[in-house]
Chains A and B, each alone.
Chain A
Amino acid sequence: MSTSVGNVEPLSCKELVELVTDYLDGALPAADRLRFEEHLADCDDCPRYLRQIELTVLLTGSLTEQSIPVDAKDRLLDVFRRWHEDEHPRSPGS
């Protein structure tokens, strides 16, 4: 995904956009990361794109179902309790 190592040309906006995921994962080689950050510093538009991706990630993360229904959870706790008792029968005094 990253551009060729040793390429000292500054990144274009078009190239940067394809590197955003690597960048956010910390997977860009050091030289490319430097070029990436240099471009961000000089460009008005790309920081907005990066921010949009970050917000997209946050919005995805906030999609939630309801948490487990109480009766379902109680049944599971029951299963858990019974399993534990079966596997670890209580001896007197324990």
Chain B
Amino acid sequence: MSGEKHLSDEELVKALRSGDEDAFGHLVEAHHASLVRFARLYVSSVEVAEEAVQETWVAVVRGIDRFEGRSALKTWLYGILINCARKRGREESRTLPFSTFDDADASDEERAVGPDRFQKPGDRWSVPPSRWDELPESRLLARETGQVVEAALKSLSPSQREVVVLRDLAGLTSAEVCATLGITEVNQRVLLHRGRARLRAALERYFDEH
């Protein structure tokens, strides 16, 4: 978008408070898709996710005067969304994902790569990873590949999925994710590590078989 400069949180909040519709429009465009993706983790359909995100935007408009800037705007945004999405999810009587460090994630059992991929001496690769760089770009970027990642995301634990979506899809920083989900850096990194490992493994299976 030519002519659009990157506003700091402070500038953006100021613009929003002064009724700057362009600023608001840009904010919505910048985040809407990722917010819907994240809300989808809590509710039964994209339509309900869209509704939760709409509620979030309305809450942002109403709350912007009270936003104190103690957290990043993005963190605040996702915090509101989580509440809206969870509420919707409860109304739908779904089992909610918990953004706590649950027992499954606390176990030390889950390694990024299975031990059968390594051999003695020296615990080096027995079946080495292949070179995805050599795959044609058309394959890497194909819709089917995206579908593999989507399906794999569903196989993650809810906590892993939340962290991966917030970090790698929505682009929140590590600190923003921790603030939004109320978890420690260490916990966040463990979840991210395992989540990404599972996604990579799914992609590896897919690329090896096709």
- A residues with CB within 8 A of B: 1, 12-15, 17-18, 20-22, 25, 27, 43-46, 48-49, 51-53, 55-57, 59-68, 72-73, 76-77, 79-81, 83-85, 87-88
Contacts and interface: CB of A to CB of B under 8 A. Distances in A.
Given A21-B192, A81-B21, A83-B61, A68 B128 contact: no
B7 interface: no
A61 B111 CA distance: 23
Nearest to B200: A56
B62 interface: yes
Given A1-B193, A18-B112, A62 B146 contact: yes
B33 A15 contact: no
B76 to A, nearest CB: 17
Nearest to B194: A21
Contacts of B118: 12-14
Contacts of A45: 124-125, 128-129
A87 B64 CA distance: 11
A73 B19 CA distance: 16
A83 to B, nearest CB: 5
Interface of B: 19, 21, 24-25, 28-29, 32-33, 36-37, 46, 50, 54, 57-58, 61-62, 65, 111-113, 115, 118, 122-125, 128-133, 140-141, 145-146, 149-150, 153, 164-165, 168-169, 171, 174, 185-186, 189-190, 192-193, 196-197, 199-200, 203-204
A56 B118 CA distance: 21
Given A1-B190, A63-B169, A53 B200 contact: yes
A20 B62 CA distance: 42
Given A52-B200, A79-B61, A20 B140 contact: no
16 contacts: A1-B190, A1-B193, A13-B123, A14-B115, A18-B193, A45-B125, A48-B128, A48-B131, A53-B200, A60-B168, A61-B169, A65-B37, A72-B54, A76-B28, A85-B19, A88-B19
Given A17-B112, A65-B33, A83-B61, A25 B128 contact: no
A47 B146 CA distance: 23
A79 B123 CA distance: 60
A20 B25 contact: no
A48 B130 contact: yes
B196 A76 contact: no
